[in-house]
Structure 1
Amino acid sequence: MRFVHCSDVHLTADYRGLPLRRLGWRRWLALPELLAGGRAQAYRRAPQTLAAIAREAREHAADHFILSGDLTACALDSEFNAAREALGALVEDRGRCTVIPGNHDVYTPGSLRVGRFERYFGHLLESDLPEHCREGPYPFVRKVGAGAAVVGLCSARVPPVPGISQGFIGRAQLEGLAAVVADPRLAGRALLVVVHHAPLTPRGELAAGPWGLRDGAALCQLLPGPRHAVLHGHIHRRFHHAATPERPHLFGAGSSTFAGHEGYWVIQVEGGRVTGGRMQELAV
């Protein structure tokens, strides 16, 4: 079985054309990095790049497509709408597509309060095993074929101030995940657990500090060995840590649409185990 995994696509509105009163102070603080810092320019072609990744997923006959958060720059409706349009028909079928929110998709309390992510992608959060949901729709389970299941978690929280982007899953979701791992209906399936924040750094250390995953160690302890993989984004570097008897495979998808670093993972599953992955660069 073949899974395509991308992340941190950051479709970015034209912030120069938006009235400041509509943006709010959190987005005001982001404007220097977006505009003067060149971030908006780096993601100028993100819609076309995301559409190309979705197209390649179809051409590769991938069994499932996974996007592990940060669809937007700052959680505007226009950015979510652009992401959904770029994904095209792929995003209409939850059997073929999993999308979870990242911290940029809950950038403001208002975006979380009105359920802006759910407005565009909520249809993908329905679970095949809803009895394991503990925090809203999470963790949700998506059976894929006869040999795998995708499990969606939410680590994205509204930051106290921009720049503090630490994530946490929380006890309730972790308890739900433990029940998923032990569910006999999933025996014999590889479990691909999707979360936005990274449990480990590219060097293999616990990701801590203002940008890490606070309960990353607890997550890894629930998922020992090659039956399991954690697919994440947040850290804008593409890397893989192979599974050990104590922890799962970890696939960091980097930022799949960042100019000059466009790409994604193709992850292989055979016999109910994750057998490896291949980094795929995108020709643009």
Structure 2
Amino acid sequence: MRFVHCSDVHITADYFAQSFFKLGWRRWVALAELTIGGRARAYRKAPETLAAIAREAQGHQADHFILSGDLTAYALPSEFERARAALGPLVEDRSRCTIIPGNHDVYTPGSHRKGRFERYFGHLLESDLPEHRREGAFPFVRLVGEEAAVVGLLSARVPPVPGVSSGLIGPTQLEGLEAIVKDPRLAHRAVLVVVHHAPLTHHGRPDSWLHGLRDADALCQLLPGPRYAVLHGHVHHRYHHVATADRPHIFGAGSSTLAGREGYWVIEVSGGKVTGGEMHVPQVSG
């Protein structure tokens, strides 16, 4: 079986065409990152790149497409709209597609309160095993074929202030994940757990307190060995830490649409185990 994994596509609106008042103070702060920091320029072709990845997923004959959060720059409705449009028909079918929110998708309290992510992608949060949900829709389970299951977790929380972007799954969701792992219906399946924040950085170390996944150890302890993989984004580096006896495979998808660093994973599952992955660069016309 084959899974395409991308992340942090950061579809970015024209912020200077927005009402400055409606942007709110958090996005005022972000304007420095968009302009002086070069983020708007770096993601100028993000919709085209994401559309290319979605098309190539079909070319790879992927059984499932996974996007591990940060569809948007700063959670504007138009950014969600453009992300959904770029994904095309793939996003309409939850049997073929799993998407979770990242911290940029809940960048403001208003975007979280209004359920902006759910408005555009909520149909993908339905679960094939709803009895294991603990925190709203999470964790949700997608049974893929006869050999695999995809589990979606929520780690993205509204930041108290810009610059604090750490994640937390929390004991309630982890208890639900433990129940999923023990469910006999998954006994012979590989389990791919999708979370936005990174359990380990590309250096193989925990991320910083202000940026990392605070309960990374608790997550990995539930998923020992090559039957399991954690697929994440947030860290804009693409890497694979191979599973050990007490830790799952960890696939960081990087930022799949970042100019000059575009890319995604094609992950292989065979015999109920994750057997490896290969990096690909999307071919964007023009």
TM-score category of the 2 structures, normalised to the smaller one: over 0.9
Identity %: 74
Contact 1:10 1:71 in 2 (8 A): yes
Pair 1:40 & 2:40 matched:
yes
Query: Secondary structure of the equivalent of 1:267?
Result: strand
What TM-score do the two structures reach when normalised by structure 2? 0.99
The equivalent residue for 1:189 is 189
Distance 2:62 2:270 in 1: 14
Deviation, 1:208, is 3.0
The equivalent residue for 1:95 is 95
Deviation, 1:120, is 0.2
The equivalent residue for 2:255 is 255
Distance 2:241 2:36 in 1: 35
Q: Which range moved further: 189-198 or 30-39?
A: 30-39
The equivalent residue for 1:267 is 267
Distance 1:283 1:46 in 2: 12
Distance 1:49 1:113 in 2: 30
Amino acid at match of 2:27: R
Contact 1:11 1:82 in 2 (8 A): yes
Distance 2:276 2:269 in 1: 7
Unaligned runs of 5+ in 1: none
Contact 2:5 2:231 in 1 (8 A): yes
Which residues in structure 2 correspond to 1:60-79 (within 5 Å)? Answer: 60-79=60-79
Distance 2:283 2:81 in 1: 25
Pair 1:124 & 2:124 matched:
yes
The equivalent residue for 2:14 is 14
The equivalent residue for 1:112 is 112
Unaligned runs of 5+ in 2: none
Cα root mean square deviation, aligned: 0.6
Query: Secondary structure of the equivalent of 2:261?
Result: coil
Query: Secondary structure of the equivalent of 1:200?
Result: coil
Structure 1 residue ranges, 4+ long, deviating more than 3 angstroms after superposition: none
The equivalent residue for 1:215 is 215
Contact 2:56 2:282 in 1 (8 A): no
Amino acid at match of 2:121: F
Distance 2:189 2:209 in 1: 34
The equivalent residue for 2:225 is 225
Deviation, 1:214, is 0.2
Q: Which range moved further: 250-259 or 203-212?
A: 203-212
Q: Give the total of aligned pairs.
A: 284
Deviation, 1:19, is 1.5
Amino acid at match of 2:14: D
